[in-house]
Amino acid sequence: MAVVDRLLLIDGHSVAYRAFFALPVENFSTTTGQSTNAVFGFTSMLINVLRDEKPTHVGVAFDVSRASFRTEQYAEYKANRSASPQEFKGQVELVKEVLDALGIQYLEKPGYEADDVIGTLARQAEDAGMEVLICTGDRDSFQLVSDRTTILYPKRGVSDLSRMTPAAVEEKYGVPPQRYPDLAALVGESSDNLPGVPGVGPKTAAKWINAYDGLDGVVANVDAIGGKAGQSLRDHLDDVLRNRRLNALVCDLDLPAGPTDLGFTTEWNRDAIHRVFDALEFSALRERLFDYLGGGDEKASADAAVALDLALPGEGQVGAWLDEHAAAGTVVGVDVSGVLRPSGARADTIAVATADGHGMWVSTDALTVQDDAALAAWLADTTRQKVFHDAKGQVHALAAQGWSVDGVVADTALAAYLVRPDQRSYDLADLAVRYLHREISTSDDSGQLAFDDDSAGAQSAVQRARAAVDLWATLEPQVEQHGALDLLRSVELPLIRVLRQMESTGIAVDGAHLDALHQEFTHRMLGAAQDAYAVIGREVNLGSPKQLQVVLFEELAMPKTKRTKTGYTTDADALQSLYAKTEHPFLEHLLAHRDVTRLRQTVEGLQKTVQSDGRIHTTYYQTIAATGRLSSADPNLQNIPIRTESGRRIREAFCVGEGFETLLTADYSQIEMRIMAHLSEDADLIEAFRSGHDFHTVMAAKVFDRAPDDIDGGLRARIKAMNYGLAYGLSSYGLGQQLGITPGEAQVLMDDYFQTFGGVRDYLQGVVDDARQTGFTETIMGRRRYLPDLQSDNRQRREMAERMALNAPIQGSAADIIKVAMLGVDRALRESGLRSRMLLQVHDELVLEVARGELDRVESLVREQMAGAAQLSVPLDVSVGIGRTWHEAGH
């Protein structure tokens, strides 16, 4: 039997709009603030339909605008529809980006609607003998249903689709598909603002149509139809005839492509898919796409992986294999499996692979003393060049075996990050597909290989090691092209050892203090809840937005906040603003409850991560923040509260460990503004730093043309807000919100500021213009951030990219400087033979544990290394604090 071609047609606007209202917009957005619920729902639906229906041809139709020949004939056509929500705007363009990545064509015709495009393609496809599936939420399309054409109509959202066949249409509406437009003309279509005959519903309309053989027969016999319904029909006959003219689809358009031009294949350009899905942050959806459909021009099976001469060396043979295949001058890939984290680290297996096809795999528990020594010597040898993927965890595991690692020439996760710092993931298997057109087996969540026998596990591990060395060969020229090779070699790679040591050391914690805080915060949380209940006279779930909406906006009749899909928002900013307006006691207690609940949760998270050594061992990540900043997790020690007294008490739990004298904290004073002065070369800004006086006071004096002694706290606060906000694209509205002044007053302040500091104004304007031309921003040390959205037609995405362009060179340079400082402090401590050690990095701050008798030397070398981490046109000022706890050491 011959295979029949199957054409899938999708009404792009219809499906995207339904998806927008089916998925809560507040739950779907990128880190840049772009809403993505509509494009997510559309893409999810598309994946499901492609999987379930297996079309051979696919096309998507879009409306060009609301104006069409129908609005020319009837100005009120669809006039009842409100403007698209702000969060929806721009998402259709994102849908088109997804379609481009998947190689799916989309069509549109000025003056006509997507339905007309679909109708034309459907009729052409039927004439060509194709089966047709149409996915749309527009009932006008039912007139296209036939023995060859089926409508996939969303019943709820976009995931539950009804198959509208001729029988299904007739069963639901009582008329065959070709007469559905007759029924719609009589009944009307509220969504199109086409009023029908008053008092006439679908059943009456269907009875007339069947009795008189269609709408023409109804019109011809209109005087014979009795009762109130008949009179109503006669009174509104012009509306009916107009409706029928407008709901008839145009099926003979001249289109740039026909059904046979819409061939669909899964021989995709996966790199294009990765770029789009990375930008949208659709990692799970991407996995579904590949899992359900397979294919791709880079697709390869695990069995088709590169051939390897796999060695499972016997007793005493490890050293000989390494000398023969992994000698000095040979770059090899290494893959370690086991427990790859600071606490409980363990290396179970080690795989080594060369680019010329040799591989070795060993299980650590089977190594002889001789093999152990040979492997240890090879790992520590600086002349044996090794490539890891995501090295730090593997180095943890090797260190747990008593092995040190040197000679690491590349980490392919870091290399890929420097090439594309805005990706959401740098998984080896994903990068292997993207850059090597090769699929490799992955590990499960525990780090253990997902195989039962040694041979299968060995083959997979060696393939991963081989992928690492091959990936580096591909990425190295790209890293160099991006100007980041020195940054990789002199900063990011050396930092792996420093971070691993910090993670392994951890920071001591006073468990009794945490327990007491947890008890206190629990008591305060319950008390705040009872106070809130007392105000309204009953108990509610203070964590339930729905219950809070009832209390706030119905029972207490408070001013409405921003409207969302689930009602009026009750997020923190909205409630703070509402409290500022009303000062209602219920809000006071609710906000107090939320604050103390967050503190309690923070304490609980810390309690769970205290290890048997009485210390907390966080994990640092180098590839999370696109600006180059380090991230901390499990637990995140970079977000321990510091601005409130209660938050600072949590820092009191972090203390000096046994055998050490004190904690020392050191941070940069106003580093981002110092970088701004250096980059902008603004003479007045540079002078403000060199004056030796309070920076913000000097700046305020210049802006307000007063003596520094005449600057009060309010004026200083205004300029301080400007200083810290200008590099983040702070608007007059945002500044006004911070300072409690009108946007107009804030704009005057900004104008005065930039009039005084013209170099800053020129720099900020220039950095965006330059990035728009080159496509990237760059830090003092050459770290680039690529911002393609600077050229976007989507205003929201473009403006977000502009704010990133302002911020990236400043924050990225600060991140680079603190990393260089960490390397310098670590080197100075080791070269001085000191026992003191670094414990934490929190953005611009370092926390050290100082051994007895070493305080003066440690403080001196920390100041020296941090101040000398970069040569700027203004000095890098370092503040130092000392104390038994992290809080006491603050300054």
Dig out the tokens for 125 from the structure: 């496809």
Q: What is the pLDDT of residues 345-356, one digit of tens each?
A: 999 999 999 999
Number of H helices, E strands in the chain: 35, 27
Say which amino acid occupies 377.
A
Q: Are 782 and 812 within 8 A, CB to CB?
A: no
> Collapsing DSSP states into helix, strand and coil, what is residue 462?
helix
- CA–CA separation, 450 and 456 (whole Å): 9
Query: What's residue 450's pLDDT?
Result: 36
Using CA atoms of 234, 236, 241, 242 in order, give the dihedral in degrees to the nearest 10.
Answer: 170
Query: What's residue 445's pLDDT?
Result: 36
In DSSP notation, 261-326 reads G-B--S---HHHHHHHHHHHT-HHHHHHHHHHH---TT---GGGSPP-EEE---TT-HHHHHHHHS
Of 158, 163, 230, 156, give the one whose Cα is nearest residue 200. 230
Of 153, 182, 181, give the one whose Cα is nearest residue 165. 153
Respond yes or no on whether the N-terminal peptide bond of residue 635 is cis (omega within 30° of 0).
yes
Q: Is 78 left (phi over 0), alpha (psi -120 to 50) or beta?
A: left
Kind plus residue range of the DSSP H or E element containing 665: strand 660-668
Q: What is the pLDDT of residues 779-812, one digit of tens each?
A: 999 999 988 878 776 677 788 888 889 889 999 9
Q: Are 790 and 814 within 8 A, CB to CB?
A: no
In DSSP notation, 153-167 reads EEEETTTEEEEE-HH
Query: What's residue 408's pLDDT?
Result: 97
Cite the DSSP H helix spans in 381-489.
Answer: 391-400, 412-419, 428-431, 454-481, 485-487
Query: What's residue 449's pLDDT?
Result: 35
Query: What's residue 157's pLDDT?
Result: 64
Query: What's residue 332's pLDDT?
Result: 96
Number of residues that this document lists for the chain:
891
Of 310, 321, 318, give the one whose Cα is nearest residue 464. 310
Q: What is the pLDDT of residues 490-526, one digit of tens each?
A: 999 999 999 999 999 999 999 999 999 999 999 999 9
Q: Are 16 and 137 within 8 A, CB to CB?
A: no
Query: What's residue 748's pLDDT?
Result: 85
Domains defined for the chain, CATH in brackets: 6-167+250-261 (3.40.50.1010), 312-506 (3.30.420.10), 509-603 (1.20.1060.10), 672-812 (1.10.150.20)
- CA–CA separation, 457 and 219 (whole Å): 77
Query: What's residue 687's pLDDT?
Result: 87
Residues of the chain with pLDDT under 50: 1, 295-304, 443-453
- Give 226-233's long-range contacts (Cβ < 8 A, gap of 24+): 228/199, 229/197, 229/199, 229/200, 229/204, 232/197, 232/198, 232/199, 232/200, 233/186, 233/197, 233/200
